[in-house]
């Protein structure tokens, strides 16, 4: 309440109006949500062929063959029992395919969370006419933490793993490899997430992604403060993340291994947590290690593995709203660099074009004694401020 009381009258209108619009977006999404059947219209059996099943599941023959552990070029007209597939294997593959059917309302929830984050960062975090001497009260942590809780619960455990930003980018390339009937609907889904990453610097990652939110919440706990002062070298983490992305492309398209259809991220997909569907020990290992490391290391999955994190990092230069630093006012005291958990603030101070990921977490926005740092739109913002 103290935070709300410090807001100007105009800011209070922004606060109420933004929440109203955000809730309205979610309601529209909920009302337009299509109803999927939990199972296909008719039971699938091993007496059927892949060719007979794919229309019922909405995938390609290559994709179903891969789910069944068969070569993607296996004969699609043979009954599965003649290919050595058991009914148990078929049932498991069917459930896995159905679990990837996206919850359309999640797109609306993602959009509403990003909208709220954008308005909070650009309009509400700092009370109007508040002097720099009050900077410690700017951008209070509670609204951000509450948003992260909503993201992890609503976009995660309540609505399931699909869709999500990581899936968005991976499915584009899977469709290009022939694992989905259409490429364009996957491209549209990926562009949706990219738009949410560009409208505000990686806002979908920092404010709406459910697994990112879990990691952020764990890192926010007051443990391992001495370890948190150290940063993972960005070049090291990004080389691993970029290397995984490249290996995914080489393996998926059969350039390496001479076998198309293998997706390296399937064995380390933490979003399965939200369906309580731990398919393999490697997925369990990824989830446990990422969450435990997340207590002391900032967003380890995002920094080391996430393919969407890698692609959206490349797109950060085009973000419409972002952290900006005034070179005229900055004394390079290091306050923002010490507050930033990813190293992004230090990259901006040093003027690096391809610096560390910024997740729009607000930590750097309330520590500058010179009031040299702000979060604003690139067009129409303070002309004396730049991105370096």
pLDDT digits (tens), the chain, 388 positions = 688 899 999 999 999 999 999 999 999 999 987 765 555 556 888 888 888 887 777 777 777 887 788 887 788 888 888 888 888 888 888 877 776 666 789 999 999 999 999 999 999 999 999 998 899 999 999 999 999 999 999 999 999 999 999 999 999 999 999 888 889 999 999 999 999 999 999 999 999 999 999 999 999 999 999 999 999 999 999 999 999 999 999 999 999 887 888 899 999 999 999 988 887 899 999 999 999 999 999 999 999 999 999 999 999 999 999 999 998 999 999 999 999 999 999 999 998 889 999 999 999 999 999 999 999 999 865 544 455 4
Same-domain pairing of 168 and 264: yes
Q: Report whether 251 contacts 262 (CB < 8 A).
A: yes
Same-domain pairing of 178 and 193: yes
- CA dihedral of 242, 199, 381, 338, whole degrees rounded to 10: -40
Residue indicated by tokens 């159905």? 98
Q: Measured on CA atoms in the order 245, 179, 50, 34, is the torsion positive or negative?
A: positive
pLDDT recorded at residue 260: 83
Number of domains, the chain: 3
Tell me whether residue 43 is in a domain. Answer: no
Q: Report whether 66 contacts 179 (CB < 8 A).
A: yes
Distance of CA 126 to the CA centre of its chain: 26
Q: Give the domain-ending residue among 288, 314, 340.
A: 314
Same-domain pairing of 231 and 308: yes
Same-domain pairing of 285 and 356: no
Same-domain pairing of 228 and 334: no
Same-domain pairing of 127 and 171: yes
DSSP class of residue 199 equals T
Same-domain pairing of 173 and 258: yes
Same-domain pairing of 126 and 217: yes
User: Considering only CA atoms, which of 3, 193, 121, 136 is closest in space to residue 381?
Assistant: 121
Residue indicated by tokens 């992004």? 344
pLDDT recorded at residue 98: 72
Tell me whether residue 41 is in a domain. Answer: no
Tell me whether residue 232 is in a domain. Answer: yes
Tell me whether residue 26 is in a domain. Answer: yes
Same-domain pairing of 233 and 139: yes
Range of the structural domain that residue 365 is part of:
318-377
Q: Give the domain-ending residue among 82, 99, 116.
A: 99
**What radius of gyration, in Å, describes the C-alpha atoms of the chain?**
23
pLDDT recorded at residue 181: 83
Same-domain pairing of 138 and 272: yes
User: Helix-strand-coil percent breakdown of the chain, rounded to 5?
Assistant: 60, 5, 40
Query: Which residues have a Cβ under 8 Å from the Cβ of 11 and sit 6 or more positions away?
Result: 123, 124, 127, 128
Tell me whether residue 42 is in a domain. Answer: no
Q: Give the domain-ending residue among 289, 314, 339.
A: 314
Tell me whether residue 39 is in a domain. Answer: no
Tell me whether residue 248 is in a domain. Answer: yes
Same-domain pairing of 330 and 307: no
Q: Report whether 110 contacts 82 (CB < 8 A).
A: no
Same-domain pairing of 89 and 109: no
Tell me whether residue 387 is in a domain. Answer: no
pLDDT recorded at residue 196: 98
Residue indicated by tokens 């010490």? 338
Q: Report whether 60 contacts 186 (CB < 8 A).
A: no
């Amino acid at each position: 309440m103290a935070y709300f009381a410090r807001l100007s009258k105009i800011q209070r209108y922004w606060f109420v109006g933004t929440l109203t619009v955000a809730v309205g977006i979610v309601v529209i999404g909920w009302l337009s949500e299509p109803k999927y059947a939990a199972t296909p219209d008719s039971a699938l059996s091993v007496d059927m062929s892949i060719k007979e099943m794919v229309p019922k599941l909405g995938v390609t023959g290559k994709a179903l063959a891969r789910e069944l552990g068969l070569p993607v070029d296996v004969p699609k007209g043979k009954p599965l029992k003649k290919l050595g597939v058991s009914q148990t294997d078929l049932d498991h593959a069917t459930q896995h395919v159905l679990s990837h059917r996206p919850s359309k309302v999640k797109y609306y929830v993602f959009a509403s969370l990003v909208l709220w984050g954008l308005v909070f960062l650009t309009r509400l975090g700092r009370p109007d006419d508040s002097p720099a001497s009050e900077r410690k009260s700017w951008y209070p942590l509670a609204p951000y933490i509450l948003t992260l809780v909503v993201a992890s619960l609503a976009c995660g455990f309540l609505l399931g793993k699909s869709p999500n930003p990581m899936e968005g980018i991976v499915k584009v390339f899977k469709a290009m490899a022939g694992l989905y009937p259409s490429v364009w609907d996957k491209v549209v889904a990926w562009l949706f997430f990219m738009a949410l990453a560009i409208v505000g610097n990686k806002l979908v990652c920092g404010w709406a992604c459910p697994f990112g939110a879990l990691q952020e919440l764990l890192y926010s706990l007051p443990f391992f403060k001495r370890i948190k002062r150290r940063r993972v070298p960005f070049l090291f983490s990004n080389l691993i993340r970029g290397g995984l992305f490249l290996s995914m492309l080489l393996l998926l398209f059969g350039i390496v291994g001479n076998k198309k259809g293998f997706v390296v991220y399937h064995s380390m997909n933490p979003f399965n947590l939200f369906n309580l569907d731990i398919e393999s020990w490697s997925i369990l290992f990824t989830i446990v290690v990422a969450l435990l490391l997340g207590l002391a290391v900032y967003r380890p999955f995002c920094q080391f593995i996430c393919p969407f994190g890698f692609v959206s990092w490349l797109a950060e230069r085009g973000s419409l709203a972002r952290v900006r630093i005034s070179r005229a006012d900055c004394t390079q005291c290091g306050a923002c660099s010490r507050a930033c958990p990813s190293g992004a603030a230090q990259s901006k101070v040093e003027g690096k074009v391809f610096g560390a990921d910024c997740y729009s977490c607000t930590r750097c926005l309330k520590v500058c004694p010179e009031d040299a740092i702000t979060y604003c739109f690139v067009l129409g913002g303070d002309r004396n401020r730049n991105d370096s």
